[in-house]
Chains A and B, each alone.
Chain A
């Protein structure tokens, strides 16, 4: 879409939209429902993630990983399967703490959980359970059409400094699924845009079927087009199989690694 026409559309939408808060909508309750819709409190969740990163106008790299997640304790374990050079690398998160495991040196590194996952626009923190209602407070809301979806658009501000982005705008459909996210810096610069066009229902909860993420900090002009680093995430074979407690430990990660 051209810049000028996009601005015109945004202006029309802004004028036409009515603030949800003026209609008496409870935005905090909406956030809580959003979390509840995608959080697996009673089960472990495991799935295969395929992450394709396309550099602006450049090469494509693919990472495949298996994720094991326990939402009730805030833990996850991620094992890299592809590419071959990274096979056996692992990520273990317990509470707010993340360990990275390098199978070549057989070393664990304790580090921050906010960094980019395998140098893509997908972040380590994106594997976390949804926690909008605790990490953010809604400051405004409005109704807006997003393609074929009728959405509530919420502007959020972080309530703590543990999150990756201090401000967010999210598009939530009436079934409480987040379809689009824009992540902003404190100064209001757009850092990242994520789209989740489709979900898959697993038991009585939902998991994204795929995501597309644009990193606005990694842009390049290709002809008359500005291209961003684009990361496509596909989530397959979601499972609710019960996992032993020991899965979420460093020793287990070392044991199952290559």
Chain B
């Protein structure tokens, strides 16, 4: 019997090998049997730059986004004997339209603006409100080497992705009027910013240059390591200085930000360290954040996020994120998937879980208006860019 069995296995193996051998494999050698002849380009002086720096007409672009869905869950952890206790469900629908215009009449001048409006009929908003200005700025190139951007625009310093706004000490730039002058050929870029925004100037008095917020940042790459040193000062806010470092080691992005705040009677330190690794269809982020500023007590946060694109060659993406406060034991875990079955349409299913004692960091930071701790959310989104 063992002999029969081994012969059977052998026959099966042969069949498998023959089956594999019969598979046709895509290859590229056929392209060389009768290829297109090599050619000589006739006019190798096309000005490709001009299409980016000048336009005869104003270019309009925009996006439409409509999100609808339902979320249901518990405001306290569900108990087997009382599954409906603390259970709550809500629905939502928000639609947003964004329009942008871009005028480039001259290679040295550009005017750009973005307006947007949103409607939320489920929460009593039944008519579209007026468009609000999100961005409006000009770009001017002075003497060919100094790039000036002036108006309402965003500025990002710092490198956080999970704790994004924490070390971005210029996060408030888009709420005011900023004048930025950049010298890209000095080091790996030097920028100076003057920022004016609400609250800096006393009404009814002459504006003083002392009330303006001044900022300066220099970038330099040394031995494959990106170093960035910057600072901002405003007389009432004090000084915020940032040192950012980034290096790629064995295909892993390693990053760190250190921020020092100094003002009358107050000095504290914030730091962020993280990594980012990307494989073919997988992305992994990790970050750790420390601050000495939270109500005089040190706070330690850590986060990890992983994303899988096109799972099993389907239009389904999976993701999970875990944020945890080491200092008080609270945190949040979110797992979700997105599925894009049709053009412009994305279906999202997410399960967010918030944990921790009352009054701890992530319990307070729970952005669910119903303050659910465990829930499941189902969303449908239509997003079109044009």
List residues of chain A with CB under 8 Å of any chain B CB. 1-4, 6, 46-48, 55-56, 58, 66, 68, 79, 84-85, 87, 94-97, 105-107, 109-112, 114-116, 119, 146-149, 177, 179-180, 193-195, 197-203, 206-207, 209-210, 212, 214, 217-218, 220-221, 224-228, 230, 237-241, 243-247, 249-252, 254-256, 258
Determine the chain B residues whose CB is within 8 A of the CB of A193 once the complex forms: 27-28
Determine the chain A residues whose CB is within 8 A of the CB of B29 once the complex forms: 1, 146-147, 195
Determine the chain A residues whose CB is within 8 A of the CB of B21 once the complex forms: 2-4
Report how far A23 CA is from B184 CA in the complex, Å: 52
A3 with B313: CB separation less than 8 A: no
Determine the chain A residues whose CB is within 8 A of the CB of B100 once the complex forms: 258
User: How many residue pairs bridge A and B at CB < 8 Å?
Assistant: 189
Question: Can you list 7 A-B contacts with CB-CB less than 8 angstroms, sorted by A residue number?
Answer: A6-B25, A147-B30, A198-B36, A198-B38, A202-B44, A210-B36, A241-B46
B23 with A221: CB separation less than 8 A: yes
Q: Which of B270-323 contact A (CB under 8 A)?
A: 276, 278, 280, 309-310, 313
A250 with B28: CB separation less than 8 A: no
Asked if B70 is at the interface (CB within 8 A of a chain A CB), the reply is no
Determine the chain B residues whose CB is within 8 A of the CB of A218 once the complex forms: 280
Chain A min CB distance to B146 (Å): 9
**Nearest chain-A residue to B244 (Cβ)?**
A110
Report how far A87 CA is from B60 CA in the complex, Å: 13
B41 with A212: CB separation less than 8 A: no
A47, A85, A195: which contacts B32 (Cβ < 8 A)?
A: A195
Determine the chain A residues whose CB is within 8 A of the CB of B39 once the complex forms: 198-201, 209
Q: Which 4 A-B pairs have the closest CB atoms?
A: A147-B32, A249-B184, A197-B35, A195-B28
Report how far A227 CA is from B153 CA in the complex, Å: 46
A-B contact sample (20 more), CB < 8 A, given A106-B154, A147-B33 = A1-B24, A46-B46, A46-B49, A66-B51, A84-B61, A110-B221, A147-B31, A193-B28, A197-B32, A199-B39, A201-B38, A201-B41, A202-B41, A209-B38, A212-B31, A230-B26, A240-B45, A249-B185, A250-B189, A251-B184
Report how far A207 CA is from B38 CA in the complex, Å: 10
Determine the chain A residues whose CB is within 8 A of the CB of B124 once the complex forms: none
Known A-B contacts A66-B48, A147-B33; the reply to A214 vs B28 at CB < 8 A is yes
B31 with A246: CB separation less than 8 A: no
A224 with B49: CB separation less than 8 A: no
B35, B52, B154, B278: which contacts A256 (Cβ < 8 A)?
A: B52
Determine the chain A residues whose CB is within 8 A of the CB of B385 once the complex forms: 84-85
Q: Please, what's the 1-or-0 string for B144-168, where 1 marks a CB less than 8 Å from any CB in chain A? A: 1101000001111001000000000
A247 with B49: CB separation less than 8 A: yes
Determine the chain A residues whose CB is within 8 A of the CB of B189 once the complex forms: 249-251
Interface 9-mer from B6-14, B246-254, B353-361, B367-375: B246-254
Report how far A67 CA is from B20 CA in the complex, Å: 42
**Nearest chain-B residue to A238 (Cβ)?**
B41
Report how far A111 CA is from B254 CA in the complex, Å: 9
A246 with B246: CB separation less than 8 A: no
Report how far A3 CA is from B246 CA in the complex, Å: 47
Report how far A97 CA is from B223 CA in the complex, Å: 10
Report how far A212 CA is from B385 CA in the complex, Å: 29
B280 with A116: CB separation less than 8 A: yes
Determine the chain A residues whose CB is within 8 A of the CB of B32 once the complex forms: 146-149, 179-180, 195, 197
Chain B min CB distance to A84 (Å): 5
Asked if B56 is at the interface (CB within 8 A of a chain A CB), the reply is no
B41 with A224: CB separation less than 8 A: no
Known A-B contacts A97-B221, A147-B35, A197-B31; the reply to A226 vs B46 at CB < 8 A is no
